[in-house]
């Protein structure tokens, strides 16, 4: 698919990943319409109908979501399930009615079973129940994969569903109430260093592993998929490595120059034991490979937070 001059609608286009995607699409000379949540409530189908009417897109990227870390998922399981399911259902259905040529849906690694063999392969998506703390969110997103495949079979709607690993980078959410692990660790280290505190408290026991993908790399993957992929088979999008939480914490302490003690609060949940993706399909189907080294990405993220911390909650 040629992007130059293409009318493209992006939901979640003002968000962490969406803003990077919009920048890359505009750099490719696409005509981009950003669906703002203040103007269109995607949980309401009539609002989504009006969004398609106003934007008249040829290509749609659906990134809008209710998201957060373990704590946010525990506090809002019903809302995370309902809102994420409804938004995706309306985007795909109204896209069908509008005759859209392609819809790209961003799902989540939280859709995978709790005890998935590592590295996670797309064939294992249905081999068990997701980790309990984020199962409602993950199942809502995984249901959109079923819808995409059903709509391709019955209506010929070209819908892609991508499963990115945990994202990080400058501009991430650093609010400790609902942030993910990297921004939470960075904020705790930076704030504790400045306050001359001698320790930080982190959730769990430090044993789980996670994989992380720099946000600009993920945006590039979405563009490549839109250009070169035409299937409703799920595709993992990641960097192809894993790191233990205790090693991540020590690395962030080193990069932020926080010299205090790390205290692990084992009364708090660990989340899924291990997460790492098999990224073969993304490489083979549309040529995506992550290019940002993890340490460089962390340095950029820390520098952004240190410069903008007064603006964060």
Evaluate whether residue 59 is within a structural domain.
yes
Band of the pLDDT at 71, cuts 50, 70, 90? confident
Q: Using one digit for the tens of pLDDT, what is the confidence trace for 265-281?
A: 999 988 888 889 999 99
Mean of all residue pLDDT scores within the chain:
95
Whether residue 232 contacts residue 152, with contact meaning beta carbons closer than 8 Å, is answered with: yes
Q: Does a structural domain hold residue 64?
A: yes
- 182 located within any domain: no
300 lies in some domain: no
3-class secondary-structure state, position 36: coil
308 located within any domain:
no
Q: CB under 8 Å to 148, separation ≥6 — which residues? A: 92, 103, 105, 157, 159, 160, 161, 232
- Label residue 67 by pLDDT band (50, 70, 90): confident
User: Does residue 91 lie in a domain region?
Assistant: yes
Residue 121 belongs to some domain of the structure: yes
For residue 184, being part of any structural domain is answered with no
Q: Write out the residue range of the structural domain in which residue 139 sits.
A: 7-169+213-241+274-291
pTM assigned to the model: 0.93
Select which of 40, 52, 112, 137 is catalytic. Answer: 137
Q: Is 313's pLDDT higher than 60?
A: no
Please name the helix (run of DSSP H) or strand (run of DSSP E) that holds residue 106, with its range, or none.
strand 102-106
Split into its structural domains, the chain has a count of 1
Tokens representing 289 are: 């490979």
pLDDT digits (tens, 9 = 90+) for 211-254: 999 999 999 999 999 999 999 999 999 999 999 999 999 999 99
CATH code for the domain in which residue 237 is found: 3.40.50.720
The pLDDT of residue 10 is 98
Catalytic residue flag (residue 151): no
63 Rama class: left (phi>0) / alpha (psi -120 to 50) / beta: alpha
Q: Which residues pair with 32 in a beta bridge?
A: 8
């Amino acid at each position: 698919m040629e992007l130059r001059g293409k009318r493209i609608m992006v939901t979640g286009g003002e968000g962490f990943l969406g803003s990077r995607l919009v920048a890359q699409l505009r750099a490719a000379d696409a005509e981009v319409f950003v669906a703002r949540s203040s103007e269109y409530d995607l949980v309401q189908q009539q609002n989504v109908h009006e969004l398609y009417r106003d934007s008249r897109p040829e290509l749609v990227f659906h990134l809008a979501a209710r998201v957060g870390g373990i704590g946010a998922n525990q506090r809002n399981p019903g809302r995370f399930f309902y809102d994420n399911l409804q938004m995706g259902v309306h985007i795909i259905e109204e896209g069908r009615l509008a005759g859209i040529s392609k819809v790209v849906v961003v799902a989540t690694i939280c859709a995978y079973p709790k005890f998935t063999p590592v590295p996670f392969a797309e064939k294992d998506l249905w081999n068990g129940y997701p980790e309990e703390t984020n199962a409602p969110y993950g199942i809502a997103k995984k249901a959109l994969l079923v819808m995409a495949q059903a709509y391709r079979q019955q209506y010929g709607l070209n819908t892609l569903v991508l499963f990115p690993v945990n994202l990080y980078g400058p501009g991430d959410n650093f609010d400790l109430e609902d942030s993910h692990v990297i921004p939470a660790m960075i904020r705790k280290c930076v704030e504790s260093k400045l306050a001359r505190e001698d320790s930080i408290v982190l959730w769990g026991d430090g044993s789980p592993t996670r994989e992380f993908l720099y946000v600009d790399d993920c945006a590039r993957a979405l563009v490549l998929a839109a250009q070169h992929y035409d299937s409703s088979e799920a595709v993992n999008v990641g960097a192809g490595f894993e790191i233990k939480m205790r090693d991540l914490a020590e690395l962030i302490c080193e990069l932020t120059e926080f010299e205090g003690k790390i205290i692990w609060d084992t009364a708090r949940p660990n989340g899924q034991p291990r997460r790492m993706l098999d990224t073969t399909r993304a490489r083979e189907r549309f040529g995506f490979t992550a290019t940002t080294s993890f340490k460089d990405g962390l340095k950029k993220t820390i520098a952004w937070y240190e410069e903008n911390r007064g603006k964060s909650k």
